A and B are shown apart, each in its own frame.
Chain A
């Protein structure tokens, strides 16, 4: 139907847009940082940052908020990547916030440290005086994300006010803020999950091994498979199984569900994702708490 079909035209556009945004963040802010989770989106963001400045080095550190419930494969990958890129890695631990009595560990079957990250993140922002935090969030992930600007201003308390968002027009990004405020910047806002996978494939970007099919011990709970780990509070109805799975999105071990899959090549993963018709957030158990779960966490300063 279209006259001219070039498989990478739209990805090229997205890449050019993201690089422009990353450079704007660096130019407009004193102390930017990249929030690095070890997932495919922040890995893609790291690659775009590398491309934006090469042959110069990435001119900002990476910050990882470590919940202590990460997949060990993710941590291993993270350390290797920052070494290759030559960037400074800052790690702050949710465990420290718990030990300082700033947050309380959740209890029960669905206990997760995902929401607790917010306090550790806001403390780290204050500790280092970061005025812009770049993240790999995408608007197609969830419907309150779909409403967020690319430069999203947070107040002194890290809060997002959905009703007071600044208009964001054309290619003009207003990064002016008051002392104490900070901006969350989302350079890959307009990418979809499929775009990210296509780009990873095209660029030959490495990923943690958990994204690919592997044999793992799992807990079968409410029809979902969770990785068996010391962090998961087991209940009577839980069933422990061993099977071949992969993860489509990577969060904490306690709240990221695995897909039964034999896909070990990116093309196979993309094909499976497309045929499943399910969204990747479907695997994030913390988002299922209510229709507004993510918006409410974001208002409180969650990334």
Chain B
């Protein structure tokens, strides 16, 4: 069984929670407790159709205000696939939580109300999906039951979507389909009301996506820790523990230590009591080298060192996530994987409004939820690649050294 991570965003009005509830319900994945809660709350609120939102809005404040504030994680599996859904807020003031939810996803589901067409929120959500280079974006034109399942309405919105996505250089695989979460059309079960639609249901689309498709082939590993063991069985065992960011490592490979540039040969890969001859991206391993090399946490092992990895000048797009504004020359702690370095905000080149990405403007400070192109200078190299070339090694966060808060996420150009 494989694992697919999905992000959904939107406000309650879009029917996002209803869609998730419908998906679980028609996939027969709701627990008895969830079914009882839905029935009880629907009755309390005097609603005609089942209120599925109660299973995703988990915080007291969310239920009080009727909005989603923070990401909820929902887990379920079908016969051959396990899904993790990050149910994220759509309101502009919670953009940071939407980015959080989308960061670990491969697929984004964007809901559009058939009566309203594309809204500012739709543009923002698509912009973030594109910024995060998600592999697939599925546009669900929802509430088709309220427009008499009209093909014209659907085609009109599909044309608006085409126009929007044409503005971006990174284009994911795009699917557009007509659904009704409330009535269950084309969510899990194909609809009889949309004979003109010949494509897959949402469930069908989500089952056909191949997870972890394109991977960067260059080997990179963050050194998390150095382990040293001295006992009867392991005499002078010294190993480097970390998770492979990208590429593949085999016993016998030569690796280069960054930043020192020292080279050595891998003599053992270990996973608990197993010593496999190779390991791939995503695996948490320990490795031993032939030579006694000076390696500690914060260093990186690669096979193909390049100038970019050692650069202290970083051009990136950042999403500002803190109430406290970012100002020019501000100093932050940059963290990428397990590496950290102090950095300075050298320049704010342009702020990008997600609703209209071509209308960039200049600014001297960054406000909460601003998205901007910036230049940073780090005190030491942090071995970052470009986000487009190597997703997990092209991203960093900025930490405010006074509050310790995570104040920004950055994507290296």
Chain A residues in contact with chain B, CB under 8 A? Answer: 1-10, 12-17, 19-20, 23-24, 26-27, 50-56, 139-140, 142-147, 162-163, 165-172, 174, 176-178, 189-190, 192, 194, 276-279, 281-282, 291-292, 295-296
Contacts and interface: CB of A to CB of B under 8 A. Distances in A.
A26 B1 contact: no
Given A4-B2, A10-B2, A295-B58, A23 B272 contact: no
A163 B396 contact: no
A190 B399 contact: no
Contact of A174 (B32, B33, B55, B406): B406
B397 A295 contact: no
Contacts of B30: 277
Contact of B321 (A15, A54, A145, A167): A167
A263 B396 CA distance: 48
Interface string B223-235: 0110111010110
A2 B100 contact: no
A16 B392 contact: no
Given A146-B74, A168-B100, A27 B210 contact: no
A174 B335 contact: yes
Contact of A19 (B56, B99, B284): B284
B75 interface: yes
Contacts of A1: 80-81, 207-208
Contacts of A139: 73, 75
A2 B80 CA distance: 7
Contacts of A189: 73
Given A3-B210, A146-B72, 14 more contacts: A9-B1, A16-B283, A16-B284, A19-B284, A51-B271, A56-B227, A140-B75, A143-B56, A162-B70, A167-B409, A169-B103, A170-B392, A291-B37, A296-B60
A27 B297 contact: yes
Contacts of B227: 53, 55-56
Contacts of A190: 73, 75, 84
B43 to A, nearest CB: 14
A14 B48 CA distance: 40
A153 to B, nearest CB: 8
A143 B56 CA distance: 7
Interface residues of B, number: 73
Nearest to A277: B32
Contacts of B73: 139-140, 146-147, 189-190
18 contacts: A2-B80, A4-B2, A6-B1, A10-B1, A10-B3, A12-B283, A19-B243, A23-B284, A27-B225, A55-B229, A140-B74, A147-B59, A170-B103, A170-B395, A174-B335, A176-B399, A277-B30, A282-B32
A170 B81 CA distance: 22
Which of A3, A24, A176 has the most CB atoms of chain B within a 10 A radius of its CB?
A176
Interface string B84-121: 10000000000011011001100000000000000000
Contact of A55 (B63, B71, B237): B237
Contacts of A52: 241, 284
Contacts of B392: 170-171
A142 B225 CA distance: 33
Nearest to A143: B58
Contact of A282 (B3, B31, B297): B31
Given A23-B284, A167-B321, A174 B3 contact: no
Interface string B4-47: 00000000000000000000000000111110010000000000
Nearest to A172: B397
A10 B75 CA distance: 13
A278 B32 CA distance: 5
A233 to B, nearest CB: 26
Nearest to B60: A292
A23 B59 CA distance: 30
A165 to B, nearest CB: 6
Contacts of A24: 224, 338
Nearest to A16: B284
B287 interface: no
A3 B213 CA distance: 12
B293 interface: no
Nearest to A280: B31
Given A27-B338, A139-B73, A169 B409 contact: yes
Given A2-B207, A147-B59, A169-B99, A282 B405 contact: no
